[in-house]
């Protein structure tokens, strides 16, 4: 008999539900994005996000079940993101998942959102052998994670200030681009010369696997302010390309250092910034030169979605790692 997991994700501004059979057969992955609403404010407004999740979640779950051709009675378990994220947003998903688990008398599985991002790789590559290394880069995180075994996450490095996606979004905003700015900078950078405007690369202390992007963000803002003061035209594509290069160089360099330190030969990418073309290309090139293999989640599974939550939930289901019905949202949950 198949193991059928309903995944629910509401940690930020995407309301999503997905149905996954046996960890690999994705029957549906419905995503209601609130981006157009938050765009007007230049970022996610937490209170608005919670209210929209409340409106959208029920129809999104029904749609996910309908597309999958699955009745609630056929579900083996319900897996939900319980952190990290916006507390009000998380609570909507957690309350819905608890209600379903209770009413259907099936296990409830609490999933860490970052574990979900990492699991996007297992959805398409269930055969990956451990140990693995994953660079998780999203709007809230920039983490280098070592996975000696399935379900075992060891944090090797993290950002000390802004996350990579946050830096993309802030620089995009300074350039007058819409939220979320990452994909727009990515596009703009394709037309620019990454060496025309050189920004400092923040490697921190020798051997450190931590990141820092706030200095780079300030350097870009200073560059823009100076140009405005002197009434100088700026080439936006060159600026985007120079900024992206400074982020991606450091991300890739540290990832390769982590691979060298741990001896891991398979490197995964995860999180919204994993969709960045510059990052995907440079990591593949450097890894190939070092004799390592790179696993990239498909673009549509990089940004927030419930398929990745269902997948992480599937492996927890196999381990019998269930949550009590007292499960609560944990906004600052760590791996």
- Specify binding-site residues for substrate: 136-140, 169, 182, 186, 276
CB 233 within 8 A of CB 178: no
CB nearer to Zn ion: pick between 13 and 304: 304
Cβ at position 74, least distance to ligand KG4 in Å? 29
For residue 217, the Cα-to-chain-centroid distance in whole angstroms is: 20
Residues near Zn ion (CB under 5 A), total: 2
Q: Does 13 bind Zn ion (CB under 5 A)?
A: no
**Smallest Cα–Cα separation from 257: which of 333, 205, 328?**
205
- Cα 264 from Cα 4, distance rounded (Å): 32
- Cα 98 from Cα 88, distance rounded (Å): 16
Q: Which pair of tokens denotes residue 25?
A: 């057969």
- Cα 96 from Cα 167, distance rounded (Å): 33
Residue ranges of the binding site for Fe cation = 113, 117, 304
Q: Does 138 bind Zn ion (CB under 5 A)?
A: yes
Q: Where are the beta strands (DSSP E) in the chain?
A: 4-9, 14-21, 25-33, 77-83, 108-112, 132-137, 142-147, 154-158, 266-270, 293-295
CB nearer to ligand KG4: pick between 35 and 288: 35
Cβ at position 272, least distance to Zn ion in Å? 6
Cβ at position 162, least distance to ligand KG4 in Å? 10
Q: Does 304 bind Zn ion (CB under 5 A)?
A: yes
Q: Does 14 bind Zn ion (CB under 5 A)?
A: no
Contacts of 208 (CB under 8 A, 6+ apart): 157, 254
* Site for ligand KG4, rule CB under 6 A: 12, 138-140, 165, 168-169, 180-183, 186, 271-273, 275-276, 303-304
> Peptide bond preceding 151: is omega within 30 degrees of 0, i.e. cis?
no
CB nearer to ligand KG4: pick between 159 and 303: 303
Cβ at position 83, least distance to Zn ion in Å? 12
Cβ at position 229, least distance to ligand KG4 in Å? 28
26 binds, among Zn ion, ligand KG4, none (CB under 5 to 8 A by kind): none
Phi, psi of 133 (to 5 degrees): -125, 140
Using CA atoms, how far residue 221 sits from 75, 171, 197, in Å, is 50, 7, 13
Q: Does 238 bind Zn ion (CB under 5 A)?
A: no
CB nearer to ligand KG4: pick between 56 and 303: 303
Interface with Zn ion by CB under 5 A: which residues? Answer: 138, 304
């Amino acid at each position: 008999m198949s193991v059928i997991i309903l995944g629910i994700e509401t940690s930020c501004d995407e309301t999503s539900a997905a149905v996954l059979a046996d960890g690999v057969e994705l029957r549906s992955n419905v995503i209601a994005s609130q981006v157009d609403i938050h765009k007007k404010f230049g970022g996610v407004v937490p209170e608005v996000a919670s209210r929209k999740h409340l409106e959208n979640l029920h129809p999104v779950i029904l749609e996910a079940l309908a597309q999958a051709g699955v009745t609630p009675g056929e579900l083996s378990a319900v897996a939900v993101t319980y952190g990290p994220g916006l507390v009000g947003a998380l609570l909507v998903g957690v309350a819905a998942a608890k209600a379903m688990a209770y009413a259907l008398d099936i296990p409830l599985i609490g999933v860490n959102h970052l574990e979900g991002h990492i699991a996007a790789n297992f959805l398409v590559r269930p055969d990956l052998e451990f140990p693995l290394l994953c660079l998780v880069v999203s709007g809230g995180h920039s983490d280098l994670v070592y996975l000696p075994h399935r379900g075992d996450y060891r944090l090797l490095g993290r950002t000390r200030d802004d996350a990579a996606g946050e830096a993309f979004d802030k620089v995009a905003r300074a350039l007058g681009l819409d939220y979320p700015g990452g994909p727009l900078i990515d596009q703009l950078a394709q037309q620019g010369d990454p060496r025309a405007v050189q920004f400092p690369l923040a490697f921190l202390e020798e051997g450190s696997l931590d990141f820092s992007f706030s200095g780079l963000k300030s350097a870009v803002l200073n560059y823009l302010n100076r140009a405005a003061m002197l009434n100088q035209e700026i080439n936006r594509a060159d600026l985007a390309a120079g900024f992206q290069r400074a982020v991606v160089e450091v991300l890739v360099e540290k990832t390769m250092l982590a691979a060298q330190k741990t001896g891991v030969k398979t490197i995964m990418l995860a999180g919204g910034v994993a969709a960045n073309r510059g990052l995907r290309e440079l990591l593949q090139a450097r890894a190939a030169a070092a004799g390592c293999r790179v696993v990239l989640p498909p673009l549509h599974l990089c940004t927030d979605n419930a398929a990745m939550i269902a997948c992480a939930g599937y492996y927890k289901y196999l381990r019998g790692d269930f949550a009590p019905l007292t499960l609560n949202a944990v906004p600052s949950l760590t791996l």
